[in-house]
Amino acid sequence: MPQLNYKQPEDFNSLIELLDFFKDEPVAIEYLQSRRLEGRVRCPHCGHNKVYKFSDEKRFKCSSCREQFTAKVETIFEDSKILFRYNTRRMV
């Protein structure tokens, strides 16, 4: 997946610009991972820092406790059935 030029919430000038930026689900998930995890992925279950990323680019698995998780864990988006790209409006 190509590295995106991420914006800060205040950089969006309109709702249309925001929706254009989050044009599909992988872009929205990658944005959440970059903003929330900031390159420091830790297991939310045991705190271990050695985790593996699944090929779907959404899920992680801890090498210690073997639990799976996503960047949405422990956020308001965790149990949402709505696609994350639609939930991004709540972030800005």
pLDDT (0 to 100) of residue 68: 95
Number of domains the chain contains:
1
Question: In this predicted model, what pLDDT tens digit does every residue of 14-54 receive, in sequence order?
Answer: 878 877 887 888 888 888 888 777 778 889 999 998 999 99
Give domain status of residue 3, yes or no: no
Residue-range definition of the domain harbouring residue 69:
9-90
> Is residue 1 pLDDT above 50, yes or no?
no
For residue 40, give the DSSP letter.
Answer: -
Inside any domain, residue 18: yes
**Would you say residue 64 lies in a domain?**
yes
Does residue 60 form part of some domain?
yes
Q: Is residue 81 part of a domain?
A: yes
Asked, for residue 1, whether it belongs to a domain, the answer is no
**Does 84 fall in a domain?**
yes
**What confidence tens digit (pLDDT) does each residue in 54-63 have?**
998 889 999 9
Sequence-ordered list of residues with C-beta below 8 angstroms from that of 73, at least 6 positions apart, any chain? 44
